[in-house]
A and B are shown apart, each in its own frame.
Chain A
Amino acid sequence: MRTRARFRLRVDPIACDGRGLCAELLPQLISLDDWGYPIVRDTDVPPELAWDAREVVKVCPKLALHLEHSPPPP
């Protein structure tokens, strides 16, 4: 059986400036810490949020957000 490709969001912490746009647009997957830096949920992006996730990656002003293939399940 062919399974759907799985992706997750990852922040490049060096590039990230804590603008917070991502958490505004995708609160389902991204929250902010006490200093305004994004905490990304460490799970696969659910299919219904795939479009939003791609948008958020595109609008990050520091290009610090990436979509990556999820690690293979153990």
Chain B
Amino acid sequence: MPRPLLPPPASVAHTPVGLGPPPAPVARLLGGPPLVGRTTLDEHLARFGRLPCDAGDLSSPEELIDLVGRSGLCGRGGASFPTARKLAAVARQPGSAIVVANGTEGEPASSKDKVLLARSPHLVIDGAVLAARAVGAAEAIIVCHRAVRELVDVALSERRLSRIDSIRLRAATGADRFVAGEASAVVHWLERGVATPTRTPPRLAERGLCGRPTLLQNVETLAHLALIARFGPEWFRAVGTEAEPGSMLVSLLGAVQRPGVYEIAIGTPVGGVLEVGCGAVAGAQAILVGGYFGTWIPFETALRRPFSRAGLASLGAGPGAGLVAVLPADACGLVETARVARYLALESAGQCGPCVSGLPAIAGELEALASGGPFNLARLQRWLGQVEGRGACSHPDGAVRLVRSSLRVFGYELERHSRGRCCAPPRTEVLPVPALPR
């Protein structure tokens, strides 16, 4: 039963100051509250209609790229690169391009790509089809976490049966490692089954998967693209800030009442983001924003800051891929950081000396610090400086950013730890770290 084509509800603009009423939830990507479980192709088409390019609109690639440019959409995988520029860079290249939708999501604390692919796989696939049109590709690969592979397969077979797509689509399971989501690592994994980053240049846009010009976009970015093509750039810009328009998915975890994946308008104050998860548990100490490559911020400092690149920049932080982890009163930030630092050290791709040798050294020093053993803060600081910026990818830099921010924010703990007295019972763990097979 076809319903009229209506844009999903835009969120009501909320006051950007203070911790007033909770912001209205944005329901663009994950469907409205009545929707539970996966959106089937029929439900998807009933809600959004067919792609405008199939219906005769937006016929030229230039038109589509221009539309994306006017929307101001930036990548949602963490780096926030302007999507239109990436599309144009691939479209310029000679040779048959290919589109890779990146839902690898190697970050253990993040679930937004899995939730998006599980609930709205057709939005992501629509976005991949549109991106393929924009760059002149005849093939797209949906790379997803193994947890949602079956759901993606079902969605792709629905589309195959109804013959709505003119390009070749297939799914691939991403490698289950932290670095596996990095763009060149995804291509390396698809090509040769090795999930390690490769040297750049050449850039993927020039010579990527099997030597072809490759457009690699996070799955959430593509889902936004699918909506922008239907409802236009003005609709997209109705939420978010002028410089960073639109909504984004966030993964809330730790000391919030209802942890989970939510959609927020970019620029919502961090306190408002927590309200979407029914607020923080009393006594929260600090917030980790951005992910395991992210930055710790004292709880009270964070609350009024807009959750956007501009709003967090002065704290040396950024929204990254949308992780917000709240440290409860009974956990220790240094213990948490030491555990994540060890995990990041073990998850090094093992290619660059400073990362291979430096990260375990840093993790060891931080563990000594966290457990109240003897430690050398000056040496730790020196190592952080020596590791930063010296890998082929940003893995060491991200780890350094996290550790530096922990020393800054939990500095008050240092003295207590140096006397061997940790603040927290070591049982409370907030940041998940998968068991490593080593």
Contact = CB atoms under 8 A, between A and B. Distances in A.
Chain B binding surface, main DSSP class:
helix
B391 interface: yes
Contact of A34 (B199, B383, B392): B383
Contacts of B358: 33-35
A35 B199 contact: no
A14 B392 contact: yes
Interface in B376-397: 382-383, 386-387, 390-392
A16 B386 CA distance: 16
A57 B214 CA distance: 32
Contacts of A27: none
SS class of chain A's interface: helix, strand, loop or mixed?
A: loop
Interface residues of A, number: 12
How extensive is the interface on chain B, given as a class? 10 to 19
Most buried by B among A12, A16, A37: A37
B351 interface: yes
B336 to A, nearest CB: 26
B357 A13 contact: no
Contacts of A17: 353
A61 interface: no
A35 B387 CA distance: 10
Contacts of A39: 386, 390
Contact of B386 (A12, A14, A18, A33): A33
Interface in A1-54: 12-14, 16-18, 33-37, 39
A13 B383 contact: no
A16 B353 contact: yes
A17 B199 CA distance: 15
A6 B198 CA distance: 27
A16 B390 CA distance: 11
B74 to A, nearest CB: 23
Contacts of B357: 34-35, 37
Nearest to B386: A33
Contacts of B390: 13, 33, 37, 39
Contacts of B313: none
Contacts of A14: 198-199, 351-352, 392
Contacts, number: 42
A21 to B, nearest CB: 14
A36 B356 CA distance: 12
Contacts of A34: 357-358, 361, 382-383, 386
Interface in B348-370: 351-355, 357-358, 361
A28 B358 CA distance: 24
Contacts of A12: 199, 392
B353 A37 contact: yes
26 contacts: A13-B351, A13-B352, A13-B354, A13-B355, A13-B391, A13-B392, A14-B198, A14-B199, A14-B352, A16-B352, A16-B353, A17-B353, A18-B353, A33-B358, A33-B386, A34-B357, A34-B358, A34-B361, A34-B382, A34-B383, A34-B386, A35-B353, A35-B357, A35-B358, A37-B357, A39-B390
10 cross-chain pairs, A with B, having the tightest CB-CB distances, nearest first: A13-B352, A35-B357, A37-B353, A33-B386, A14-B351, A18-B353, A14-B392, A13-B392, A37-B354, A13-B391
Interface of B: 198-199, 351-355, 357-358, 361, 382-383, 386-387, 390-392
Interface of A: 12-14, 16-18, 33-37, 39
